[in-house]
A and B are shown apart, each in its own frame.
Chain A
């Protein structure tokens, strides 16, 4: 199986996202989109990230309205009776859509091929991430599912007591946050004590330096090609 290193994919995703912001012309963005988005979207659909892709499509409506309100200038393209769509609106909408498609593609490639725990391990061992930050991040990711379950229970209790199930006002949010934090911190106390008792302070992380396999080289080469494409066309 073509298994890639989490660190390589993390670096790839982050740099492609930065490139998407550096790229200003439609041509530059189109190259990045064609390389990243089809792969990312296919992988995303396979791994059940349909909701994220659907949210992206819904967001396009807002982007188009935004472009119509604030960038509708230049040559007239379409004249509907109630609105005239000009070149500026289409260019602006196209550029932002392509940029978001690149970001979405890179994120889906990363997230579908990576295990979060392996990523943390890789960041610590290869990139020299502080063991403290790696530990906090590992706890955070471990607690995520538990907190989501807690949040579900809080919603249930709120509904039973006649409060709004989902917080709408800041006051609602405060009353939702308090039990969520309280439950999380209660667990954190025991996790923290256990870690301390197991000698967390004395633990020294294993550093192996950056390892690059042939598969990683392929990914880095694709990244360099995109880098060149963006800067040559600049």
Chain B
């Protein structure tokens, strides 16, 4: 499949830069996650770190503003993180794929006509539930129901906040 009809070399270079930025952020987020986990337990760890792991999608989509960029931003970021490598290793690819698809849905919902702060927030928020589901499925991070709800909310809120930050950062630069 060639994306050439939709993406110029400049778009793809932007995508590469976003993947590198996201890869660096994703790799550093492991330290934040472990620190948060040690200080405040699973919910605090998710609030302060999960949104950073979802940031590739809103960054790429707000910058390039084309269909498919949210997915590619998140997935390529995860691929770069795998090659660095980090604690998550190949699992990053599985997470990147699922989170990228979920984030892409946020832009699809608006028929790819709007790439603002709201859409970026939603893109971050949408990546939360699949990430929590994968934690449970892959790592057996299954807690009592009320804790699971709080963890999902923490991931969604964190995703929304960092999604908005990513969009604001891109908009500031592009002014």
A/B interface sample: 20 pairs, CB < 8 A: A17-B94, A55-B34, A62-B37, A62-B38, A66-B42, A99-B139, A103-B88, A111-B85, A116-B83, A119-B83, A130-B2, A136-B12, A136-B13, A137-B19, A139-B16, A139-B17, A140-B23, A192-B10, A192-B11, A195-B13
Q: How many angstroms from the CA of A104 to the CA of B91 in the assembled complex?
A: 10
Q: Does B145 contact A (CB under 8 A)?
A: no
Please indicate which of the listed interface residues B20, B30, B42, B86 has the most CB atoms of chain A within 10 Å of its own CB: B20
Type the 1/0 row for B68-92, where 1 means its CB is closer than 8 Å to any CB of A: 0000100010011011111111110
A residues lining the B interface (CB < 8 Å): 13-14, 16-17, 21, 49, 52, 55-56, 58-59, 62, 66, 70, 92, 95-96, 99, 103-104, 106-108, 110-111, 116, 119, 130-133, 135-144, 147-148, 151, 170, 173-174, 177-178, 180-182, 184-185, 187-189, 191-193, 195-196, 200-201
CB contacts (< 8 Å) of B72 on chain A: these are 133, 136
Q: Does B93 contact A (CB under 8 A)?
A: yes
Q: Residue of A at shortest CB range from B142?
A: A70
Say yes or no: B93 contacts A14, CB within 8 Å: yes
Say yes or no: A17 contacts B89, CB within 8 Å: yes
Q: How many angstroms from the CA of A66 to the CA of B72 in the assembled complex?
A: 33
CB contacts (< 8 Å) of A188 on chain B: these are 10, 13-14, 16-17
CB contacts (< 8 Å) of B13 on chain A: these are 135-136, 139, 188-189, 191-192, 195
Other 19 A-B pairs with CB < 8 A, given A143-B17, A196-B8: A17-B89, A17-B94, A21-B138, A62-B38, A111-B83, A133-B3, A133-B72, A136-B13, A136-B15, A136-B19, A136-B72, A140-B23, A148-B24, A170-B165, A173-B165, A178-B172, A184-B20, A188-B14, A192-B14
CB contacts (< 8 Å) of A141 on chain B: these are 20, 80, 83
CB contacts (< 8 Å) of B12 on chain A: these are 132, 135-136, 139, 192, 195
Please indicate which of the listed interface residues B16, B87, B140 has the most CB atoms of chain A within 10 Å of its own CB: B16
Q: How many angstroms from the CA of A71 to the CA of B42 in the assembled complex?
A: 15
Partner of B8, one of A13, A70, A192: A192
Q: Does B150 contact A (CB under 8 A)?
A: no
Q: Residue of A at shortest CB range from B45?
A: A62
Say yes or no: A193 contacts B10, CB within 8 Å: yes
Contact count band on B: 35 or more
Q: Could you tell me the distance in whole angstroms from the C-beta of A70 to the nearest C-beta in chain B?
A: 6
Q: How many angstroms from the CA of A58 to the CA of B30 in the assembled complex?
A: 12
Say yes or no: A107 contacts B85, CB within 8 Å: yes
Q: How many angstroms from the CA of A108 to the CA of B89 in the assembled complex?
A: 9
- Using A55-B30, A193-B10 as known contacts, say yes or no to A130 and B162 having CB atoms under 8 A apart: no
CB contacts (< 8 Å) of B21 on chain A: these are 147, 177, 180-181, 184
Q: How many angstroms from the CA of A145 to the CA of B83 in the assembled complex?
A: 13
CB contacts (< 8 Å) of B4 on chain A: these are 131-132, 201
Q: Could you tell me the distance in whole angstroms from the C-beta of B175 to the nearest C-beta in chain A?
A: 11
Q: Does B102 contact A (CB under 8 A)?
A: no
Q: How many angstroms from the CA of A189 to the CA of B59 in the assembled complex?
A: 16
CB contacts (< 8 Å) of A17 on chain B: these are 89-91, 94
CB contacts (< 8 Å) of A189 on chain B: these are 10, 13
Q: How many angstroms from the CA of A162 to the CA of B139 in the assembled complex?
A: 41
Say yes or no: A135 contacts B165, CB within 8 Å: no
